[in-house]
Amino acid sequence: MFTGIVEAVGKIASVSPVGETAAVRIESGGLDLTDVALGDSIAVNGVCLTVKDFAPDALEFDVSTETLNVTSGFAAGQRVNLERSLRLDTRLGGHLVSGHVDAVGEVDEIVEYDGNRVMTVRFPQSLARYFARKGSVTVNGVSLTVNSVDDGRFSVNLIPHTLAATNLGDLDKGGRVNLEVDLVARYVERMLSETGTGS
């Protein structure tokens, strides 16, 4: 589990195809690796990956075919948001995030004002029931509050700190992003469907 509070922005150093999978090496970007061990989970742009090797300034992962197919992908030189897995004694500054990407969204519009950016993202209609104004969403591993939802799009406000501390400031119109809906919304939908009151 994660919180959606990005700890560092790393850079993909290399992507090596291994059959239909890939081996990915990421420069850690100052992420504290002192307590990282083989087999630990790290969120990379919101994707939960398992550490297969690491150095003082780099991490290595194997990425499955399924992950490659359902996420925005991994490319050498790409900046990626990094977060270590949640510890029980850690403050939950964002919201509970599983690191299992639900879909890839597309940036539809970016409007700047007073150092902030309002970013509108288009999402697959199959996820519409999980979005609500003032609810939570994870975009590239960043916990954000939904400002508005309308016709297959949601908007979020990106404050200067978020723009500086994550890779969301790199995005332009048409950019692809990893989306994870709020776990609470998913479980509520499941409970309603079990009781026969869901749509």
CATH number for the domain that contains residue 72: 2.40.30.20
Structural domain contains residue 2: no
The parent domain of residue 165 ranges over 103-195
How wide is the angle at C-alpha 47 spanned by C-alphas 43 and 53, nearest 5°?
60
Distance CA 166, CA 163 (A): 6
| CA 95 distance to own-chain centroid | 12
pLDDT in tens, 108-136: 999 998 889 999 999 999 999 999 999 99
> Residue 53: helix, strand or coil by DSSP?
strand
Cβ pair 167, 139 in contact under 8 A: no
- In this predicted structure, what is the pLDDT of residue 10? 98
pLDDT in tens, 11-66: 999 999 999 999 999 999 999 999 999 999 999 999 999 999 999 999 999 999 99
Structural domain contains residue 15: yes
Tally of structural domains, the chain = 2
pTM value is 0.91
Distance CA 158, CA 163 (A): 6
